[in-house]
Amino acid sequence: MVMTVDEAVFCEHVQHGNFLDGVSRGKWKIVRQEWPHVWIEVRAAQRDPSSDAYVLRFDCTNYPQSAPTAVLWDLGTNTPLAHDRWPAGTGSVGQIFRTDWNNGSALYFGMDRAALTTHQKWPLEHPNTVWNPGKEITDYLDAIYGPLNSPHYKGTRCSISSSR
């Protein structure tokens, strides 16, 4: 079966040093690929008893001309991750991992296709940090790895609620 152009470019990008360096450092790894969907696990800071990693299912249709869009995923049930198991926190964590926007079907920031579609001023207002065809999947992953490994990340929503 002939690989589509978007999948071929994606496969090339995940062989680039920047992506492989992230894998080597344990920051992220591809756990499954069924084009145009790719499941990538991203490590989070240890916040016992919360999980120290989250899986995102990316839809990479028309990559990289179009931004990918991702939803947090439950590999066990093969469904979107329940909202109470989403990352919680302040600052960038609270902003990106919103369950109250779009019913939690995508991440709320300028690297994600769903958010960009409904915020057409973002490319003008934030030209350096929103998706463009020159970006790679590593740029998206870096933009969420940082917040998940910052003091803003407090753990999963249910673990924070139960500790109160």
Partner 1 sequence: MRIFVQGEDIIGIQVTESDQPLTGRHVVLEAVKFGFPAGDDLSVIWVGLEDSEKRLLLEEVVSVGDSDVRVHCHRCREITVTGHYNSKAISKTLPPGTTIGRVKEWLTSRDSFDIAPIDAADLVLVPCDDDADPLVENGHIGSLVHHPNCSLCVSLVPADRHQG
State the residues that interact with partner 1 by CB under 8 A. 16-18, 20-22, 24-25, 90-92, 95, 108-110, 115, 119, 122, 126, 128-130, 142, 146-147, 150-152
79-80 sheet: strands from edge to edge: 28-34, 37-43, 53-59, 69-74, 79-80
Per the CB < 8 A criterion, the answer to whether 137 and 68 are in contact is yes
Q: Least distance from C-beta 96 to partner 1, angstroms?
A: 8
**Gap between the Cα atoms of 42 and 29, Å rounded:** 7
Q: Please identify, using beta-carbon distances, which residue of 81 and 93 lies nearer to partner 1.
A: 93
Q: Least distance from C-beta 156 to partner 1, angstroms?
A: 19
Q: Which two tokens stand for residue 105?
A: 């079907």
Q: Please identify, using beta-carbon distances, which residue of 11 and 75 lies nearer to partner 1.
A: 11
Bond before 87 cis per omega within 30 degrees: no
Q: Please identify, using beta-carbon distances, which residue of 4 and 149 lies nearer to partner 1.
A: 149
Q: Please identify, using beta-carbon distances, which residue of 54 and 109 lies nearer to partner 1.
A: 109
Q: Least distance from C-beta 72 to partner 1, angstroms?
A: 18
**Gap between the Cα atoms of 56 and 16, Å rounded:** 20
Compute the C-alpha angle 40/43/47, nearest 5°. 140
Q: Least distance from C-beta 145 to partner 1, angstroms?
A: 9
Q: Please identify, using beta-carbon distances, which residue of 23 and 82 lies nearer to partner 1.
A: 23
Q: Least distance from C-beta 88 to partner 1, angstroms?
A: 15
3-state secondary structure of 157: helix
